Amino acid sequence: MRKGIEVALMLALIAIALAPCAAPARADSEDLSAEWVWCDGNFLPAGRISSINITIRNVGPNPVKLQFVGLHFDWMPQNTYVYGGGSELEVILPPGGSAKYAIPFEIPPDAQPGPHECLAFAKYEVLGEGRLKVFRPNRELSVLRVITL
């Protein structure tokens, strides 16, 4: 009986010692959230100019220095972003604070009909540590096939 208690006590001590290793690391996704609004809907013809209203909210416990918010579409070269409405300017977001941007974009006239990926990138700092967050919209953009009769 005593040996069983010793084994149980030993296992409990090992579990306590290893618990910090099993704790989840801080996830960057807990700092910011995003809300998307496709101003003209998400089904648009090639060649169309439209915009996205995106609201970035600080959902973390610390102030966030938001440095840049840009959109990237799959037809754009890598590391290229469109921005607007002040999304290229730094702003401090207190906990619970938000910033709203209207970012215009143009669908190329030769864009293929069908779904296209769009991502928003936010460059920001929390407590002096630089971070990058990628947001996906709740609905993807679809380019419509236009038939002229």
Q: pLDDT tens for residues 42-55?
A: 999 999 999 999 99
Mean pLDDT of the chain: 82
Looking at residue 52, what is its pLDDT? 95
Give the count of beta carbons closer than 10 Å to the beta carbon of residue 149.
Answer: 2
pTM for this prediction: 0.75
Segment 85-110 mean pLDDT: 96
Looking at residue 29, what is its pLDDT? 52
Residue 115 C-alpha from the chain's centroid: 19
Residue 56 in 3-state DSSP?
Answer: strand
Higher per-residue pLDDT: 25 or 112: 112
How far, in Å, are 2, 16, 23 from residue 10 at the CA level?
12, 10, 21
Looking at residue 58, what is its pLDDT? 97
